[in-house]
């Protein structure tokens, strides 16, 4: 069940804003939110991230975030 605006109905800018806000508030919710708040935060994040990945399946990936990049940093 979606609470709030269905992610498919959000424009690109709104989707990005909502994702950024959820990522900014994750730690506070994780450490201090109720079980219900954490569950809702997690499910909403999954909804929005799923929509983002559906729209941008070929999103830019930073080579430093890949295993090969990690190996190069540790060498």
**What local confidence, expressed as pLDDT, does residue 50 receive?**
97
Question: Does the residue 29 lie in any domain?
Answer: yes
Question: Does the residue 40 lie in any domain?
Answer: yes
Helix segments in 1-75, DSSP class H: 12-32, 35-55, 67-74
0.75 exceeded by pTM: yes
Question: Does the residue 55 lie in any domain?
Answer: yes
Phi, psi of 68, deg, nearest 5: -60, -40
Q: Which domain holds residue 58?
A: 7-74
Question: Does the residue 54 lie in any domain?
Answer: yes
Total domains present in the chain? 1
Question: Does the residue 1 lie in any domain?
Answer: no
Phi, psi of 28, deg, nearest 5: -60, -45
Question: Does the residue 2 lie in any domain?
Answer: no
**What local confidence, expressed as pLDDT, does residue 75 receive?**
62
Quick: pLDDT tens for 16-71: 999 999 999 999 999 999 999 999 999 999 999 999 999 999 999 888 888 776 66
């Amino acid at each position: 069940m979606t609470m709030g605006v269905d992610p498919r109905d959000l424009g690109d800018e709104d989707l990005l804003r909502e994702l950024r806000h959820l990522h900014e508030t994750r730690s506070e919710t994780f450490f201090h939110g109720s079980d219900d708040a954490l569950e809702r935060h997690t499910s909403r994040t999954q909804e929005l991230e799923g929509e983002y990945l559906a729209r941008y399946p070929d999103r830019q990936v930073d080579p430093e975030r890949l295993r090969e990049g990690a190996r190069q940093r540790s060498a």
